[in-house]
Amino acid sequence: MTTIIEKDVSIDDFIENLVSSPPQSPKSLHLEIKTEDYENMFQVLVEIFTKSMKYLYGDPRGRVDLDKMSQTVLDTMSEYYQSFGYHIYVDKIEGANITSYGATEKNPVNENDLKAQCLKIQTKDNMYVIYFDRMAEN
């Protein structure tokens, strides 16, 4: 396993290393988030998502149009997260219709889980709910 985040490596260095090549195999990179507090862990994962999306899919001003995201983009982001041992879930809410990428009703959310933390983004046409979970230990 390759250790990417250590005491002297910034989150920005981790992100640059992560997105500078295609996604690696699941759990092949080591990301150590030095907290068990789910809110702080969530904030780190949101920062990785935001900066990675800007780097990979942003316009010259760094803006990303979520409404134009394809399934391929979401699959690629999922592969990046899996490479360091996490799942990313994106629910797209269009009026009364919800499209879930990675989430199922078979996965109940306990309020003390990382999945209970979510980022809600409202665009002109849709609402996006983004949340994360650790991959199961093998």
Judged by DSSP in three states, 129 sits in strand
Distance in angstroms (rounded) separating the CA atoms of residues 115 and 118: 7
pLDDT at site 105: 44
pTM exceeding the 0.85 threshold for the entire prediction? no
pLDDT at site 2: 40
Host domain of residue 87: 2-134
Q: Within 10 A of 10 (CB to CB), how many other CB atoms are there?
A: 9
The residues with which 97 forms a beta bridge, in sequence order, are: 94
Contact between 39 and 117 under an 8 Å Cβ cutoff? The reply is yes
pLDDT at site 53: 95
Per-residue pLDDT of the chain (138 residues; tens, 9 = 90+): 344 444 457 889 999 999 999 999 999 998 888 777 888 899 999 999 999 999 999 999 999 999 998 889 999 999 999 999 999 999 888 876 766 665 444 555 566 678 888 899 999 889 999 999 998 876
pLDDT at site 117: 87
The count of domains in the chain is 1
Q: How far apart are the first and last CA of the chain?
A: 14
